[in-house]
Structures are given as C-alpha cells and as structure tokens.
Amino acid sequence: MKHQGQKKAVKYRNRAKLQNFKIENEKYKDQVMIRNNAWKNEVSAAEVELDNIFKSTYDQWSKDDAEMDAILLNHSFTTEEAIIAMHKGSYAGTMTGRTAGRLAAKSSVEAGRAISKSMAGVILNQKKIESNAEVIRQQANAKQWKAWEAVWRSPVHGHTPRPPQLEGKPPIGPMLMEIAIAGAGAYLGGTARASSMSKDTKLTEWLTKQTQKEAAGQQFNQQMNAAVLGQDTTSSGLNLAGVDSYMTKQTPLDITRDPWVEGLYR
C-alpha cells in the first residue's frame, strides 16, 4: 500500500508539473503575440514618421526652389531693363567726336554694371540655397535613421519555457525489503509467543502440583493438632502409618531447587 501511495504521489506531482509547464507555454505565446503586435504598431508609426520627414524635406526644397526662381526672374527683368536703358542712352544726338562717343558708351557701362550686380545676387543666393538644401538633407537623414533605428529589429522573445524534470517511479526494492522485514518480525514474534505459552503451561502445571501438596500438608497439620489436644484420632480419620510415610517423604518447599523450575528459567 505504501509503495502504491508513493507511485500515486509521484504521478500527481508529475501531472502538476506538466500542467504548470503547459500554462507557462500559453503565457509565453501570449507575451510573444503582444510584443509582436506592439512592434508592428511601432513599425507602422515609424513608416508614417518617415513619410512625414520626406514630405517636410520636399516642402523645404520646393520653397527654396521657388525663391531661386524668383531671384532668376528678377535677374531677367533687371537685365532687360538695363538693355533697354542702354539702347535709349546710346544716342548722342548731333554731337560728334570723343564726347559723343563717351556719352553713347555711358549707357552700355551702366547696363553692364546693373547686369553684373544682378548676376552676383543670383550666384550668391544660389549658393545659399544649395547649402541650405544640403543641411535639410542631412537633418532629414538623421531623423530617418533615428526612426528606423527604433524599429529595425524585431522583438527577441528568448527561449521557450524549459520542460520540468519529472520524477521517476519509486523503486520496488524498499517495498520488498519492508515485506521481508515484516515477515521476519512476524515469524520471530510467533516463535517467541509459542515458546512463552509453552513455558506458561508448564509453570501452571507445576503450581497446581505444589498447591495440591500444600493442601495435603494443611490437612495433615490439622489432624496432628487434633491428636495433640487429646481428640479422637479415629473419629478424625488420622492414619498414623500414613503420617509417618508423609513425614518421611516431605521436604521443605523451595522452588528454586526444583529441577524442573530451574530448567524453565535457564
């Protein structure tokens, strides 16, 4: 029974361990699903953020291009006005000689100065816009890298729960040993009980004999007392021959010297 109880206890403990292992696996799957869904949401948000960064960069570049177009348009109008003014001032009238040539060339010089000034403004603004566009590009790349760095790696879930270490069935050896010990104990107990009962029987027989002897001795004493006091020994049934025989055979009562008793308690 004890062995069967141990087997059932091991079975129930292993069943509980397996049930806990199943629950841990279910929790692991739930956590994996939750982390994956959260990561997918972050990826979607990062994609939207990347699109917004690209759109913002495009808008800034478009704004700079529009400013550059306005500068070029202004330069075209400035050049046109300078050329018109140059042709209007190139006529010296009726004058001849060096003064007339100088007055006719003056408008050309002023037109060249105006066109050169306008062209210098165009070049400077173009370099400024190009430099600004490079700064915008670098800032956009940094923002895109930061957004991508936050979601580029999928979640690392780690190992699944380790299976439990199940217990083995209890060995049958201890059970057999207990059975052998119990059988030996029962055999020894039965042998000792039988020996004790045998000794008790012999002791009872011996006490019965001693009691009978003591009863006979008491009867003899009563008869002797009656004879000493002058009573009729005939009426009392006293047999003097029997008295002599009894006195000859009787010995003091000493059970320690009885051979049978000595053999009983050796």
Averaged over 32-51, what is the pLDDT?
93
Q: What is the 3-state secondary structure (H, E, C) of 101-116?
A: HHHHHHHHHHHHHHHH
Question: Which pLDDT does position 220 carry in this prediction?
Answer: 64
Question: Which pLDDT does position 198 carry in this prediction?
Answer: 65
pLDDT digits (tens, 9 = 90+) for 187-240: 676 665 666 666 667 667 766 776 777 776 666 666 666 665 554 444 444 444
Which residue pairs, CB below 8 angstroms and at least 24 apart, start in 207-214? 210/253, 210/255, 213/253, 214/253
- Give the torsion sign (CA, 64, 69, 72, 73): negative
As a whole number of Å, the end-to-end CA separation of the chain is 42
Question: Which pLDDT does position 232 carry in this prediction?
Answer: 47
Q: What percentage of the chain carries pLDDT values higher than 70? A: 62
Q: Residue 252 in contact with residue 187, Cβ under 8 Å?
A: no
Q: Residue 214 in contact with residue 252, Cβ under 8 Å?
A: no
pTM, two decimals, is 0.49
Q: Residue 210 in contact with residue 255, Cβ under 8 Å?
A: yes
Using CB atoms within 10 Å of the CB of residue 30, give its burial: 0 to 12 exposed, 13 to 18 middle, 19+ buried.
exposed
Averaged over 249-256, what is the pLDDT?
47
